Amino acid sequence: MKIKNIECWSVPMRLTEPYTIAYETIDSCTNVFVRAETDTGLTGFGCAAPDLQVTGESAETVVQVYGSIIEPLLRGSDPLHRAKAIELLLEQARGNPSAIAMADMVLHDLVGKAAGLPLYQILGGFRDSMPTSITIGILNTAETIDRARRFVSDGFRILKIKGGADVEVDVERITKLREVLGADIELRFDANQGYTPAQAMRFVSETRQARVEILEQPTPRDQLEQLGVVSRSVSVPVMADESVSSEADAFHLATEGLADMVNIKLQKIGGLHEAARVNAIAHAAGYEAMVGCMDESALSIAAGLHFALARPNVLYADLDGHLDLIDDPFAGAVVLKDGVLHPSEKPGLGAGFPS
C-alpha cells in the first residue's frame, strides 16, 4: 500500500462563544487538514490546530512545513510503516508539533482503515467511552454559575474552570460553584500559568471545602521548580500541561517529582506516536494522565479520544475543543451523550469526507 495522492488546506473557524484564559481571549481559530489517498483506494485524514502561544506555530507555518517536508516524505510511502515516517518527521520538522500531529493522524487513520477497525481497538481497546470535562473561561461569578448550570443541564458532570488572573476572584468562583452545584459535579481548575507558588497554595487552602479534583498548570511553563514547590505543598493533585511538550519534558518532571499528573495534548506533543512515549513515562512514574485539547476540529478530538480509550492510566479527558466551532468540516467524528464521548466505531479515526 502506498500513498499516491495527498493534499492540505486551511479552514478558519469562529467560536460560538469567545472565552478568556489567563493570558488571552479567543474568538476564532484556524485548523489545517490533510487528506491522503492510497493506491488501494483508502482515504485518510489528519488535522493540525496550531497555536502561537502553545505550539509556536501558525496555520501559515503548518502549510509551509506540509509543502517542504510532509508532502515529499509521505507521498509514495507505505502508511503501515508509519513509525519510520514519523521518526523522520520528528527530526526534519522539529519545533512544529501540530504539523507533525497532522501527519501522524493521517497515517494512523489509514492504518485503522486498512485493518477495518476503529483506531482505539488497534491501540489497545482498554475502554470504549470516556466522560469529558467542559471548560468555562474566565468570567465573573454570576456568569460562571449561569454557564455551569447550562452545562450541567446538558448532561456534563465534570467542569473545568479557567482562572489565574486574580486568585481572590478564583476562590470566590469555585466556592460559589460548589455551593450552587452540590457534591455530585466534579470541579477542576486550570490557572494557565497565572499563579505564583504562594498564590497557588492560597487557592488550594481557601477552596479546600469545594473539593477541587485537579489543579492544572498553576505556575509558568518554564519555571519547573515553582511547579514542584506547589506539587509538594498542596493536597490537590497538580497537573503539568504547558510544561509538557516532549518526552524529555515528561522525563524531567517525573524524575524530579515536579508534578502529580500530566496533560497530554496531541497537538502540543506531536501526535499519537509521541503521546505513547510521554504516556509510557507517566505510567512508569506512577502518574495518572489526562488527554486534553485546544481549539480543534472533531477530527483531532477523535484522535485524542482513540488514544485515551486505549491507555489504562489515562483516567481523564478534557476533549471539548470542538464543541464551540462553527462550520467544523469533520463534525460528527465523535459522539457526545450526556457528557460522555464515544468513538464513531467506523474504521480508523471514524471520519469520512469533510462536509
57, 241, 249, 318: the active-site residue? 241
CB atoms < 10 A from the CB of 221, how many? 18
Cα–Cα distance measured from residue 128 to residue 192, given in angstroms and rounded to the nearest whole number: 30
Residue of 162, 170, 274, 318 marked active site: 162
Cα 305 versus chain centre, distance:
9
Distances (CA, A) of 130 to 217, 333, 336: 23, 15, 10
- Does residue 265 carry a catalytic annotation? yes
67: number of Cβ within 10 Å: 11
Kindly give the pairing relationship between strand 340-343 and strand 130-131. antiparallel
Q: What is the residue whose three cell numbers read 466534579?
A: 186
Please tell me which residue in 109, 190, 260, 274 is annotated as part of the active site.
Answer: 190
* Helix, strand and coil percent figures for the chain, each rounded to 5: 40, 25, 35
Give 64-115 as a DSSP string: HHIIIIIHHHHTT--GGGHHHHHHHHHHHTTT-HHHHHHHHHHHHHHHHHHH
- The span from the CA of 237 to the CA of 234, in Å, is 8
- For β-strands 261-265 and 238-240, DSSP reports them as parallel
Identified catalytic residue from 51, 57, 170, 216: 216
Q: Quote the CA–CA distance of 81 and 73 in Å, as a whole number.
A: 12
d(CA 153, CA 159): 12
- Note if 190 is an active site residue: yes
Contact indicator for 152, 185 with CB cutoff of 8 Å? yes
Annotated active-site residue 84? The verdict is no
* Annotated active-site residue in 113, 160, 265, 268: 265
- Catalytic residue list: 162, 190, 216, 241, 265
